[in-house]
Chains A and B, each alone.
Chain A
Amino acid sequence: MKIKSIHEIVNREYQYGFKTEIEPGVQVKGLTEDTIRFISHHKKEPEWLLEFRLKAFRHWQKMKEPHWAHVDYEPINYQDVIYYSEPKAASADDKPKSLEEVDPELRRTFDRLGIPLIEQKKLAGIAVDAIFDSVSVATTFKEKLKEAGVIFCSFSEAVHEYPEIVKKYMASVVPYTDNFFAALNSAVFTDGSFVFVPKNTRCPMELSSYFRINTEGSGQFERTLIVCEDNAYVSYLEGCTAPRFDTKQLHAAIVELIALDHAEIKYSTVQNWYAGDVKTGKGGIYNFVTKRGKCAGNHSKISWTQVETGSAITWKYPSCILTGDHSVGEFYSVALTTGKQQADTGTKMIHIGKKTRSTIVSKGISAGESSNSYRGLVQVNAKAEGARNYTQCDSLLIGPRCRANTFPYVDIQNATAQVEHEASTSKVSEEQLFYFRQRGISAEDAMASIINGFCRDVFRELPGEFAVEATQLLGLKLEGATG
């Protein structure tokens, strides 16, 4: 089919909507203290973790779901969600011990998603933790990383193998009291990734986690913790997809990053959850995620880069708490909404230490009947002498029925702060497309070129190969955009 108009370009089919037919193992629906006890017991967790979960749950029961975001959705029935779902072949009771033992069907699933669970030479630059519903099914290059002193494993494994580190840092950036969805996650979280880079170590590979929700009605509540000690560096990327179902699915994750003195964490996300039916809005993921990094050490740096293309609803504000003097926080975001998607996303930069710096570059692309909002807070505390922030928010509208909003909040308590804000709104017009086409360039390539140009400042922050992936993800070809 030849694609001719803006309408056809932004309404293409979701290509990761397939479902893996695999024998289910344990599944738990509904939410009570018993659910939590069951999850904790099934995962053979230590008592302290169960206690943490129960405290979080009791707190959550007293909380109200937040509705301040610029999104609109049917109420969620929290008793109707599957909180734990594992394929039988990757049960927490009987976890495959080596990569070779991974169930072939699961392996095929990840192959199809472009995530081969093997340790080949040509893949030597990237280690992967693959998470399917509630369990991690494999982590590649674990041993090789260990030689460099880097710990990369599933969160569940870390709880058993490195309890002291987990205990020390878990919930130190996002306490369970933080917000409604953080409390929910703290109560029922299942798997996620754990990264620990010790002092004076530069992680020798890109680390990545791939999250896949497969079971209808199932939620995903992963938890990721990344710690970089003094002078350490890591670059980490997460990707996510889900099958096409007619019912909404809940995804409520927590990601915590901790950077000590002179440490640097680069965290990139390519989010492509199922967005729901383009025309009716049926189905899709509710993506309610709390991501926060703490620049605890002096001269530390945390950089968030996100390419958000999926989910029916996105509610997500990857943030930086700049505690260390001279610490740096960055947020680079591309959020693309089409069909009936709604996104309310942005960041918080909290300046506490002296001479702290932050940069925010947000690119919102809205098409179809979608709604795309940037919401950001720049806060400079009284003692943050000489703090600086630069914010740039650009919106690109495609077609006449979409919406874009910007909600920037600035809270300055120190007169030495320098804060800059720039914003723009532009439109892709049929005239522009005709101009390209009259020069022999297809409408599809034209759109790719325009969107690519718009997103360039963010894409160049992504690790090389992922920049290409992100580009393709937006339905684009790199051609013409790199010149």
Chain B
Amino acid sequence: MLGIQDLHAEVAEKNILKGITLEVNPGEVHAIMGPNGSGKSTLAKVIAGDPNVTVSRGILRYEGRDLKDLDPEQRALAGIFLAFQYPTEIPGVNNASFLRMAYNAKRKAAGQGELDPLEFDEVLQERMKIVQAPREFLDRNVNHGFSGGEKKRNEILQMAVLQPKLALLDETDSGLDVDALRVVADGVNRLRSKENAVVLVTHYQRLLNYIVPDRVHILVDGRIVKSGGKELALTVEQKGYDWLSVHGRTA
């Protein structure tokens, strides 16, 4: 599904990713862990097509297509979803109509008819249950005045509405209390299937208690220094990252 080989990428002319190789298949959950500034978020952004990230070299493919040729909206319509670490506020734009715009953009791209607000509301009711989003979410403007936790939950609501093939969750767990974390994780688990894949970018092992990964990758200074099964996350939890940055490059 997602094939990354020797990927190098820059932000503001600074090398952030220095040769990433990663393969994600349908049905898999991958966790990307690593210390601050290691390039975890940049990896999520480069897949989604953030204009601030420039690919300087390497291969970035999704379902056989070169992602570098696709605009962010084309990538989104092809099923890539990024749950933002810091979701931006959009005053004046109603959350329900934003969700409908996104949903209809996807339907249109798939050659299906657009849904009117009433038809869409039925879809929405269903999806809102998945993340236990309160009704008043819809009447507010996109992320405007939302608390940190509400913003994260709103991201997962969007994910529930759009049902992406490849979901990139960028530190969706940070800023959530235990209860909110459980709701969000539960939502993500319910959206998992054999056809879709999830890439979790996280700082802490905590989230992985709820969303159990198939593979864990440790990113240090723009490179994956170690990959392993879910137990690798526990090792990191106990030992930190230091032992990896010393030995990792040859591992």
Checking A453, A480, A483 against B91 with a beta-carbon cut-off of 8 angstroms, the contacting residue is A453
Interface check B90, CB cutoff 8 A: yes
The answer to whether A440 and B93 have CB atoms under 8 Å apart is no
* A429 and B88 contact, Cβ closer than 8 Å, known pairs A4-B71, A483-B97: yes
For chain B, give the interface size range: 35 or more
Cβ of B126 within 8 Å of any chain A Cβ, yes or no, is: no
Nearest opposing residue in chain A for B76, CB measure: A440
Tell me the minimal C-beta distance from B137 to chain A in angstroms: 13
Shortest distance between the CB of B88 and any CB in chain A (Å): 5
Stretch of B100-108, B172-180, B183-191 contacting A (4+ beta carbons < 8 Å): B100-108
Q: Are B90 and A435 interface neighbours, CB within 8 A?
A: yes
Interface string of A426-468 (1 = CB under 8 A from B): 1001111011111111110100011011101000000000000
Residue A482 interfacial (CB < 8 Å): yes
Say yes or no for A479: interface residue by CB 8 A criterion: yes
Q: A426: nearest residue on chain B (CB-CB)?
A: B91
Which of chain A's residues has its CB closest to B84's CB?
A435
Q: Do B92 and A439 touch (CB < 8 A)? A: no
A481 at the interface (CB under 8 A from B): yes
CB-CB contacts of B75-86 with A at 8 A, as 1s and 0s? Answer: 111000110100
Interface flags for B31-63 (1: CB within 8 Å of A; 0: not) read 000000000000000001111100000000000
Q: Which residues in B have their C-beta under 8 angstroms from that of A445? A: 101, 105
Closest to A396 in B: B92
* A434 interface neighbour in B51, B98, B102, Cβ under 8 Å: B51
Question: Which residues from chain B contact A67 at a C-beta distance below 8 Å?
Answer: none
| Pair A439/B105 contact, Cβ less than 8 Å | yes
Does residue A2 face the partner (Cβ distance < 8 Å to B)? yes
- Encode contact with B along A396-422: 1 for CB under 8 Å, 0 otherwise: 000000000000000000000000000
Those of B88-120 within 8 Å (CB) of chain A = 88, 90-94, 96-98, 100-102, 104-106, 109, 117
Minimum Cβ distance to chain B for residue A440 (Å): 4
User: With the chains together, A346 CA to B11 CA distance in Å?
Assistant: 43
A441 with B101: CB separation less than 8 A: yes
Residues in chain B near residue A481, CB distance under 8 A: 93, 97
CB <8 Å contact, A453 and B162: no
A436 to B90, CA, bound (A): 10
Contact of B101 with A437 in the complex, beta carbons under 8 Å = no
**Of the candidates A426, A435, A441, A483, which one forms a contact with B94 in the assembled complex, judged by CB atoms under 8 Å apart?**
A483
Chain A residues near B76 (CB-CB < 8 A)? 437-440
Interface centre among B49, B51, B92, by most A CB within 10 Å?
B92
Chain A residues near B98 (CB, 8 Å)? 439, 449, 480
B69 interface hit (Cβ, 8 Å) = no
Task: Scan B128-161; emit 1 where CB is below 8 A from any A CB, else 0.
Answer: 0000000000000100000000000000001000
**Complex Cα–Cα for A438 and B84 (A):** 10
Q: Is B222 an interface residue (CB 8 A)?
A: no
Q: Residues of B contacting A434 with CB < 8 Å?
A: 50-51, 72
Contacts of A429 in B (CB 8 A): 88
Residue of A nearest to B96 (CB): A483
For B90, give its contact among A432, A437, A443 (CB under 8 Å): A432
Does chain A have a CB within 8 A of B87?
yes
Q: Is B73 in the interface zone, CB < 8 Å from A?
A: yes
Residues of B within 8 A of A4 (CB): 71
A479 to B100, CA, bound (A): 9
Q: Return chain B residues, CB-CB under 8 Å to A2.
A: 71
* Chain A: minimal CB distance from B117 (Å): 6
**How far, in angstroms, from A341 to B241 measured CA to CA in the complex?**
55
Which residues of chain B come closer than 8 Å to A442, judged between CB atoms?
Answer: 73, 105
A439 touches B158 (CB 8 A): yes
B88 touching A432 by the CB < 8 A rule?
yes
Given contacts A437-B72, A438-B82, A440-B162, contact A480 B90 (CB under 8 A): no
Q: Which residue of B lies closest to A445 (CB)?
A: B101
- Evaluate contact between A440 and B71: CB separation under 8 angstroms: no
* Chain B positions within 8 Å of A432 at CB level: 88, 90
Residues in A whose Cβ lies below 8 Å from that of B101: 436, 439, 441, 445, 449, 479-480
Measured between beta carbons, the chain A residues less than 8 angstroms from B96 are 483
- Nearest CB of A to B238, in Å: 35
**Distance between Cα atoms of A82 and B162 in the complex (Å):** 59
CB distance from A225 to the nearest CB of B (A): 37
Residues of B within 8 A of A454 (CB): 91-92
Pick from A435, A440, A452, A456: contact of B77, CB under 8 Å:
A440
**Bound CA span A204–B78, Å:** 52
Chain B residue at minimum C-beta to C-beta distance from A455: B92
Partner of A435, one of B87, B92, B97, B106: B87
Give chain B nearest CB distance to A448 CB in angstroms.
10
Q: In the bound complex, what is the Cα–Cα distance between A481 and B98 (angstroms)? A: 8
Chain A residue at minimal CB-CB distance from B144: A453
Determine which of A440, A452, A480 lies in contact with B73 in the assembled complex, contact meaning CB atoms within 8 Å.
Answer: A440
Bound: A450/B72 CA distance, A: 18
Please measure, in the bound complex, the distance between the C-alpha atom of A481 and the C-alpha atom of B93, giving whole angstroms: 7
CA distance A429 to B143 in the complex (A): 15
Across-interface contacts of B141 in A (CB, < 8 A): 453
Q: A435-B84, A439-B158, A483-B100 are in contact. Are A450 and B105 (CB under 8 A)?
A: no
**A438 near B71 (CB under 8 angstroms)?**
no
**Considering the chains assembled together, what is the distance between the CA atoms of A435 and B102 in angstroms?**
11
Which residues of chain B have C-beta atoms less than 8 A from A453's C-beta?
90-94, 141
Q: Which residue of A lies closest to B143 (CB)?
A: A435
The distance from the CB of B121 to the nearest CB of chain A, in whole angstroms, is 10
Contacts of B100 in A (CB 8 A): 480, 483
A479 cross-chain contacts in B, Cβ below 8 A: 101, 104
* Smallest CB-CB A-B distances: 7 pairs: A453-B92, A483-B97, A440-B76, A439-B102, A480-B101, A437-B72, A440-B105
A-B contact pairs, 24 of them (CB 8 A): A4-B71, A429-B88, A430-B51, A430-B52, A434-B72, A436-B90, A438-B49, A438-B73, A438-B75, A438-B82, A439-B76, A439-B162, A440-B77, A441-B102, A441-B105, A449-B93, A449-B97, A453-B91, A453-B141, A454-B91, A456-B92, A479-B101, A480-B100, A483-B94
Other A-B pairs, 9, CB within 8 Å; known A439-B101, A453-B91: A434-B50, A438-B48, A439-B102, A440-B106, A441-B102, A441-B105, A449-B98, A453-B92, A456-B92
